[in-house]
Structure 1
Amino acid sequence: MKVAVAGGTGLTGRHVVELLDRAGHEPVPLSRAAGVDLLTGSGLDAALAGVEATIDVSNVTTMKREAAVGFFDKAGRTLAEAEARAGVRHHVTLSIVGIDRVKTGYYQGKLRQEAVVREGGVPWSVLRATQFHEFPGQILERLPGPVALVPAMKVQPVAVREVAEALVELAVGEPKGMAGDLAGPRVESLVDMARRVIRAGLARRRPVVPLWLPGPMRTGGLLPTGPGPRGVQTFDEWLAEAAGSPSIHRDDDPRTYR
Structure 2
Amino acid sequence: MKIVVIGGSGLIGSKLVARLQTAGHQAVPASPNSGVDTLTGAGLAEALTGADVVVDVANSPSFEDAAVLAFFETSTRNMLAAEARAGVRHHVALSVVGSERLVDSGYMRAKVAQETLIRTSRVPYTILHSTQFFEFLGGIAHSSVAGEAIHLPTALFQPIAANDVADALAAIVVAPPVNGAIEVAGPAPFRMDALVRRYLMATGDARGVVGQADAPYFGATIDDSSLMPTAGAQIGATDYDSWFAAR
TM-score, normalised relative to structure 1: 0.88
Q: Confirm or deny that 1:232 pairs with 2:237.
A: yes
Letter in 1 for 2:48: L
SS in 2 for 1:100: helix
SS in 2 for 1:176: coil
What is the aligned residue count?
Answer: 241
Runs of 4+ with deviation above 6 angstroms: none
In 1, Cα distance between the equivalents of 2:241 and 2:153? 20
Matched residue, 2:222: 217
In 1, Cα distance between the equivalents of 2:139 and 2:167? 22
Give per-residue Cα distances to partners, 1:194-239, cap 9 Å, x unaligned. 11112222x6222111133278612321101231211111112211
Q: Confirm or deny that 1:10 pairs with 2:10.
A: yes
In 1, Cα distance between the equivalents of 2:118 and 2:33? 24
Residue 117 of structure 1, CA deviation: 0.7
Alpha-carbon contact 2:157-2:224 (below 8 Å) kept: no
In 2, Cα distance between the equivalents of 1:178 and 1:130? 17
Indicate how the Cα distance of structure 1 residues 10 and 109 shifts in structure 2: closer, same or farther if over 3 A, else same: same
Alpha-carbon contact 1:68-1:108 (below 8 Å) kept: no
Matched residue, 1:200: 202
Aligned residue runs from structure 1 range 28-67, under 5 A:
28-67=28-67
* Structure 2: runs of 5 or more not aligned: none
In 2, Cα distance between the equivalents of 1:139 and 1:28? 30
Alpha-carbon contact 1:136-1:190 (below 8 Å) kept: no
Alpha-carbon contact 2:185-2:234 (below 8 Å) kept: yes
Matched residue, 1:254: none
SS in 1 for 2:194: helix
SS in 2 for 1:181: strand
In 1, Cα distance between the equivalents of 2:155 and 2:7? 28
Q: Percent identity?
A: 39
Higher relative contact order (CA 8 A, sep 6+): 1
In 1, Cα distance between the equivalents of 2:142 and 2:246? 19
SS in 2 for 1:138: helix
Letter in 2 for 1:75: S
Q: Confirm or deny that 1:166 pairs with 2:168.
A: yes
Aligned residue runs from structure 1 range 1-258, under 5 A:
1-103=1-103, 104-142=105-143, 143=145, 145-201=147-203, 204-213=205-214, 217-242=222-247
Letter in 2 for 1:48: L
In 2, Cα distance between the equivalents of 1:228 and 1:150? 25
Residue 144 of structure 1, CA deviation: 6.9
In 1, Cα distance between the equivalents of 2:100 and 2:84? 28
Give per-residue Cα distances to partners, 1:67-92, cap 9 Å, x unaligned. 22211111000000111111111100
In 2, Cα distance between the equivalents of 1:173 and 1:163? 16
In 1, Cα distance between the equivalents of 2:18 and 2:5? 11
Task: Give the stretch that moved more between structures: 37-46 or 134-143.
Answer: 134-143
In 2, Cα distance between the equivalents of 1:13 and 1:180? 18
SS in 2 for 1:126: strand
Residue 147 of structure 1, CA deviation: 1.7
TM-score, normalised relative to structure 2: 0.92
